[in-house]
Chain A
Amino acid sequence: MRNATNEPETRSIQVDYLARVEGEGALHLTLQDGRVTDARLRIFEPPRFYEAFLRGRDFREVPDITARICGICPVAHQMSSCHALEQAMGVTHQIEPSVRALRNLLYCGEWIESHALHIFLLHLPDFLGYESAITMAADHAETVKRALRIKKLGNTIVSTLAGREVHPINACVGGFYRAPTPQELMALVPEIEFCLEEMCDLTLFLAATLEYPKLDQDYEFVALSPDDEYPINLGPIASSKGFRVQQQDYLNAVEEQHVPHSTALHSMIKGRGPYHIGPLARLNLNADKLHQRAADLVASVSDAVGHGLPWRNSFLSLPARALETVHALALSLEIIKAYRPPARAAVPIRPRAGVGAAATEAPRGINWHRYETDSRGLITAARIMSPTAQNQAQIEADLRKLAPQIVSLDDEKLTLACEHLIRNYDPCISCSTHFLRVHIERIAAPLDGA
């Protein structure tokens, strides 16, 4: 772990533009004598001021506007906006079950697309030692083609149901502008059936052939945890260390903390510390609610990666994401086969003064929105907590935890190892508008990553 001369070693690792992540971020790491003394995930995504300019907009405009927070997970922002504003308008209980099913289907499409993109095009090159999927495709054309087909299906589900895959146009507060016909959805079935088999196969392949770096972190996992389904759209928010709150009470459990000398608002569990959201958290907290097709794979995947659930290693977010992709494909089939068009695509809404807050599970984790409206239905206050923003403190804790096992690597390999770890979280920096210009000064951070 030390260099030959036995001198204390101080090294700085600087990555100016993190590649293969959505949005712009940088990493600054200082290592001293085998320890990380400074780990900074800098996010320099420019501020776009969504919460500020939402004020004064009609509540019906909000889902179209918040979609633009992120081109990768527009459905997530639309769904959180819709749920929160339906609460504010007092119509939550009028939403028909088949509209809820369509929302789950729309969300499944986004999970499939986003997960396939991340697993195969952004993350897999780290495991196989390529700088990108473009280079990887030269040696692994077949895998890339299979992945692209699954990714395309995710996009097709979203565009069939809602017009287009980036910033879809059919979701509204109260439901949908137009409910699809059963025939439109049934046309998707053969491709979903094909991709489901493919994804089951690829999940086992990824579990068995990839080498997952070791990391054992005492995470606090947080995810939506409904009683009777794997979390997507609904349910109370639960933690692996014991809290369980209703969606509107999320801020009773977590807070955005100011780091000294920094503009970063690090999300922390009150009185405890960083927490982990996303596929790994969802799986660890809700494995018993996976669709049978995904549940059937858990034992083999666990055997292959050498560890049963719960997984306390963020590198295992890749197989977690793969299992969730299987789940989303199988659930899509089930929803389509059971689909009966709703009596009305959207419930009529009379604007009123109200308050509403809701969280849904974006591909990267909990996406929480809160709004207040006046009697005309114009927004008077808005607050948005996106997933990557909440994971940022955890990513830095992981970097500190990983450091001892990678500190002997040369700069290039060490940089790659750190980037690999950051990409475990599929960071979506475009969403993290609260986290720009992070400049954390941390001296001799404790190695236990607490």
Chain B
Amino acid sequence: MPRTGAFTADGKPKVAVYKFSSCDGCQLAILNLEDQLLDLVGAIEVAYFVEARRRELPPPYAIGLVEGSVSTPEEEERIHKIRRDCDFLVTIGACATSGGIQALRNWADVEEFTRYVYAYPEYIKALDTATPIAAHVFVDFELRGCPVNRFQILELVAATLAGRKPAIPTYSLCIECKRRGVSCRLVSAGKPCLGPVTQAGCGALCPAYNRACYGCFGPMELPNVDSLGERFIGLGYSPAEITRMLRSFNGYVEPFKQASDRYAQRD
């Protein structure tokens, strides 16, 4: 139930944008809505968005958009306050939704990682894992992608303003590929395309540029990862290569995670 304070006196929803461990690319997607930006900031109240403005309005907020994964002790605490501050909490992008590329550390020795990158590892305060926001608090909605599709952010805000469910597809990339009339990377080109198990949303970008999908929108609803993996084996790819394909920007979300663990064991 939205709280009164989450709206301005003239009825605009107060929106907050937060950053956790990330590259800033999903927040930037908001600023990349050049044609809609001035209308957008007119329809909502940008109450907290450090990358874009100095002024902050106090919580509660009607919508909270969270970029990034939880990878430090501070972030682990901060997300709980944010959950309390926001009526409707949305993760934007692969880091917030599945842990992001930095979740590769979850399969590694973080102490060794720290020694490799930093001269004074004793000063680095990092958790052993980078995890999605939903591993810590309840998330109301998630937008996929590395980066998120900016028009999905617009749709999400528009739908919320109109009080309806955002129209975000959960089918596989293959549908977008067929719609765009791109020849199949897997069947016709014999490339290891993750499209059949990846959620639509990018517009079939990689296949349109002659390359196989690398899964940056993460798993679609109910994908058959093993079946696709066996097809890749048939094409001559090794279990180690398949493990790497699954462990990229959405590697730490199910069912990519479990499937990658199985291929890692076969290596």
A-side residues, CB < 8 A to B, are: 17-24, 44, 46-53, 55, 57-58, 61, 64-65, 68-72, 74, 117, 121-122, 131-135, 137, 141, 144-145, 148-149, 151-152, 155, 162-167, 169-170, 172, 177-178, 258, 262-263, 265, 419, 430, 433-434, 436-437
Contacts and interface: CB of A to CB of B under 8 A. Distances in A.
B21 A48 contact: yes
Contacts of A164: 147, 202, 205
A151 B34 contact: yes
Contacts of B202: 164
A69 B71 CA distance: 15
Interface of B: 19-29, 31-32, 34-35, 37-38, 41, 46, 50-55, 71-72, 74-75, 100-102, 104-105, 108, 110, 112-114, 116-120, 123-126, 130, 146-147, 202, 205-206, 208-211, 214, 216, 241, 244, 248-249
B53 A46 contact: no
Contact of B248 (A19, A65, A122): A65
Given A61-B244, A166-B29, A134 B46 contact: yes
Given A24-B50, A74-B25, A167-B147, A46 B75 contact: yes
Contact of B205 (A19, A61, A163): A163
B147 A166 contact: yes
Given A19-B50, A48-B130, A122-B52, 13 more contacts: A20-B52, A47-B126, A64-B214, A71-B22, A72-B25, A121-B52, A133-B53, A134-B53, A148-B34, A169-B205, A170-B211, A263-B124, A430-B23
A131 B54 contact: yes
A134 B57 CA distance: 14
A169 B206 contact: yes
Contact of B34 (A152, A258, A437): A152
Contacts of B216: 167
A215 to B, nearest CB: 22
B108 A52 contact: yes
Given A70-B24, A145-B38, A258-B120, A52 B205 contact: no
A131 B55 contact: yes
Give the 4 A-B CB pairs with smallest separation, nearest first. A71-B25, A132-B53, A52-B113, A152-B34
A191 B177 CA distance: 29
Contacts of B116: 49, 51-52, 55
Contacts of B124: 47, 263, 436-437
B50 to A, nearest CB: 5
Contacts of A162: 209
A74 B28 CA distance: 12
A284 to B, nearest CB: 28
Contacts of B244: 57-58, 61
Contact of B25 (A53, A122, A166, A265): A166
Contacts of A21: 51
22 contacts: A19-B54, A46-B72, A48-B130, A52-B112, A53-B105, A71-B28, A72-B28, A131-B55, A135-B53, A145-B38, A148-B35, A162-B209, A163-B205, A166-B26, A166-B28, A166-B29, A169-B206, A170-B209, A178-B210, A263-B118, A430-B24, A433-B117
